């Protein structure tokens, strides 16, 4: 037999052996730990004031009383995270703390370091958000691959979060569409589109870029309030108030 | 060059492509959503109190409210009442579901309660000397046949070992042997060693059932009502720069 025939066989066998790898490469790979690119990334979405309807613009202004520059973050005392509430979606993506993506066949997990390590599940199996699903800080997300992009739709968001650090409010009608795409060997871009029929005058968009950190680990994070929790625990300052109820609950309402 | 020689090259070409598949098949499948089976009212690792040193027994009795019969520890002494996480190993005795996700380098255990993320590193990494103590500790694991063997250390002592209020120190080491004991069951054989707390190592066993119809819900812990109320009332207004007295004194 000729060398050419042997060579041809070897090429064919190599291709067969590599077929699983080639098929896997058809689906974009977002696995790993990611952080925002740039030395001092802006933790806001969009430039300047977002397109807010009147009542929500008033809330935004209240979150920013006395601030000179649009780039400054909203007032701490108005910020839900200071009261130990989570960043939620989409604010976690504007954080400078890392997040980790784990892709499995039917589900993409995104684990955040910020804010008590909240996480999301992006369902890829075509399911719809169940009726009467309670609003959550991370929302209910479904996704599908579109070539090199993972397209994600999120709804069912709890209104008790700021969209970003500037203090942008939103309602429970907020819907977020993300298009995630690998933009380089260690880079990813997410294009966010925000729609909120109650809070925004129109849909608006922003993109964020992230870099892969192969040697990073997410650290345990109990949130901004951990010092307070530890102090209260050491002093038992909830002693006598263990069955703590808000006044509404105590009055039998909700 | 002969055909005989070409056939010798065949395994070398095919094996790298199929090796991952072969390796995956030999690795036990622990993935899925799991929850404790059976009677989970008692979320404890033992029927009776474990073998504790004197200081630990004193703390335990206090946590039990000096009750005649062993039961749940007192709410007012439970760190979770003060919004601290359940942590390890208590989370493994909890009756909330968790999800196991296996990847080649890490096994993730994602709990519903407090949204805790446990990472079990399979790649032999260690943590640095000065690494901070964590509520979930630092876990490494390896597969031994059909079992995932996990070692956890670096645990913060600011947690209860379980719901009964058994204390522990930061010297606690937990070894777990997780094994698929049936089509819908995982058995976890746990071993607790803490030379500062217990008079000897002791063991426990937990069984989890597969819950394919469960969904992991969002849960930010027991204090959410309190957070929402404080936020609504801006109760921290004026105390945004809150510091514990120690922190204020420059500790």
pLDDT digits (tens, 9 = 90+) for A162-209: 999 999 999 999 999 999 999 999 999 999 999 999 999 999 999 999
Is it the case that residue A119 has pLDDT exceeding 60?
yes
Instruction: Tell me how many residue pairs between chain A and chain B have CB atoms under 8 A apart.
Output: 144
Q: What ipTM score was computed for the predicted complex, to two decimals?
A: 0.84
Q: Report the alpha-carbon distance of residue A195 to residue A54 in Å, rounded.
A: 16
Which carries the bigger pLDDT value, residue A39 or residue B121? B121
Q: Which residues of A touch B242 (CB under 8 A)?
A: 227-228
Among chain A residues, the shortest Cα distance to B133 is held by: A220
Q: Report the alpha-carbon distance of residue A75 to residue A63 in Å, rounded.
A: 6
DSSP classification of residue B238: T
Is it the case that residue A109 has pLDDT exceeding 80?
yes
> Where would I find the H helices in chain A?
3-26, 54-62, 114-117, 226-235, 247-250
User: Which tokens go with B209?
Assistant: 């059932």
DSSP β-bridge partners for residue B190: B176, B204
Q: Which residues of B touch A225 (CB under 8 A)?
A: 83
Residue A253 — very low, low, confident or very high, per pLDDT cuts 50/70/90?
Answer: low
Among chain B residues, the shortest Cα distance to A13 is held by: B13
Opening angle at CA A105, ends A99 and A107, nearest 5? 45
Predicted pLDDT of residue A250: 72
SS3 A233: helix
Residue A10 — very low, low, confident or very high, per pLDDT cuts 50/70/90?
Answer: low
pLDDT digits (tens, 9 = 90+) for B186-239: 999 999 999 999 999 999 999 999 998 888 888 888 888 888 888 888 876 545
Q: Report the alpha-carbon distance of residue B176 to residue B173 in Å, rounded.
A: 10
Predicted pLDDT of residue A251: 79
Give the gap in angstroms from C-alpha B200 to the nearest C-alpha of chain A: 28
Q: Which residues of A touch B116 (CB under 8 A)?
A: 117
Domains of chain A in sequence order: 27-239 (2.40.128.20)
Which of B101, B135, B242 lies closest to A102 in CB terms? B101
Q: Which whole number is the average pLDDT over B107-128?
A: 93
Picking from A198, A226, A199, A221, the residue whose alpha carbon sits closest to that of residue A95 is A221
Q: Which residues of B touch A31 (CB under 8 A)?
A: 103
Round to the nearest angstrom and report the end-to-end CA distance of chain B: 77
Of chain A, the percentage scoring pLDDT greater than 70 comes to 85
Domains of chain B in sequence order: 28-235 (2.40.128.20)
pLDDT digits (tens, 9 = 90+) for B128-160: 888 899 999 999 999 999 999 999 999 999 999
Contacts of A110 (CB under 8 A, 6+ apart): A99, A100, A101, A119, A120, A122
A127 touches chain B (CB under 8 A): no
User: Which tokens go with B234?
Assistant: 């801006």
Question: Could you count the other beta carbons within 10 Å of the beta carbon of residue A142?
Answer: 18
User: Which tokens go with B115?
Assistant: 């949204």
Give the gap in angstroms from C-alpha B137 to the nearest C-alpha of chain A: 9
pLDDT digits (tens, 9 = 90+) for A70-91: 788 999 989 999 888 999 999 9
H or E element in which residue B97 lies? none
Contact between A195 and A174 under an 8 Å Cβ cutoff? The reply is: yes
The answer to whether B83 contacts A232, with C-beta atoms less than 8 Å apart, is yes
């Amino acid at each position: 037999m000729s060398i050419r025939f042997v060579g041809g066989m070897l090429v064919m066998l190599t291709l067969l052996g590599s077929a699983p790898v080639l098929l896997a490469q058809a689906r974009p790979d977002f696995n790993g730990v990611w952080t925002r690119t740039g030395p001092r990334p802006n933790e806001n979405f969009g430039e300047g004031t977002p397109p807010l309807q009147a009542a929500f613009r008033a809330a935004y202004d209240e979150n920013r009383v006395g601030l000179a520059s649009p780039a400054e973050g909203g007032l701490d005392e108005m910020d839900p995270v200071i009261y130990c509430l989570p960043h939620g979606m989409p604010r976690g993506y504007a954080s400078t703390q890392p997040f980790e993506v784990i892709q499995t066949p039917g589900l993409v997990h995104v684990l955040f370091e910020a804010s008590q390590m909240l996480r999301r599940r992006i369902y890829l199996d075509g399911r719809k958000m169940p009726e009467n699903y309670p609003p959550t800080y991370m929302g209910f997300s479904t996704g599908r691959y579109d070539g090199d992009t993972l397209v994600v739709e999120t709804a069912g968001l709890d209104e008790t979060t700021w969209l970003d650090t500037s203090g942008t409010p939103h309602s429970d009608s907020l819907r977020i569409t993300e298009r995630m795409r690998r933009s380089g060997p260690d880079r990813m871009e997410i294009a966010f589109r925000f729609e909120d029929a109650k809070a925004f005058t129109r849909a608006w968009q922003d993109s964020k870029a992230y870099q892969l950190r192969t040697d990073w680990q997410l650290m345990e994070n109990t949130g901004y309030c951990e010092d307070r929790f530890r102090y209260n625990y050491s002093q038992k300052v909830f002693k006598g108030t263990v069955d703590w109820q808000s006044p509404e609950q105590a009055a039998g309402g909700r | 060059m002969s055909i005989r020689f070409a056939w010798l090259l065949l395994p070398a070409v095919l094996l790298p492509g199929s090796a991952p598949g072969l390796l995956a098949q030999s690795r036990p499948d622990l993935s899925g959503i799991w929850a404790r089976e059976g009677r989970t009212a008692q979320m404890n690792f033992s029927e009776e109190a474990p073998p504790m040193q004197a200081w630990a027994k004193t703390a335990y009795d206090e946590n039990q409210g000096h009750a005649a019969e062993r039961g749940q520890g007192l709410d007012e002494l439970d760190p979770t009442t003060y919004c601290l996480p359940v942590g390890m190993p208590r989370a493994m005795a909890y009756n909330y579901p968790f999800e196991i996700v296996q990847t080649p380098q890490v096994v993730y255990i994602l709990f519903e309660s407090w949204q805790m993320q446990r990472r079990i590193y399979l790649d032999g990494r260690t943590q640095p000397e000065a690494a901070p103590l964590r509520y979930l500790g630092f876990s490494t694991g390896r597969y031994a046949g059909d079992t995932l063997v996990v070692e956890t250390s670096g645990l913060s002592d600011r947690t209860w070992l379980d719901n009964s209020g058994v204390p522990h120190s930061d010297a606690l080491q937990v070894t777990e042997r997780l094994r698929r004991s049936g089509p819908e069951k995982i058995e976890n054989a746990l071993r607790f060693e803490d030379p500062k707390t217990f008079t000897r190592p002791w063991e426990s066993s937990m069984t989890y059932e597969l819950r394919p119809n469960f969904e992991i819900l969002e849960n930010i812990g027991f204090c959410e009502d309190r957070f929402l109320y404080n936020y609504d009332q801006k109760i921290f207004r004026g105390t945004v720069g809150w510091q514990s007295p120690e922190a204020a004194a420059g500790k």
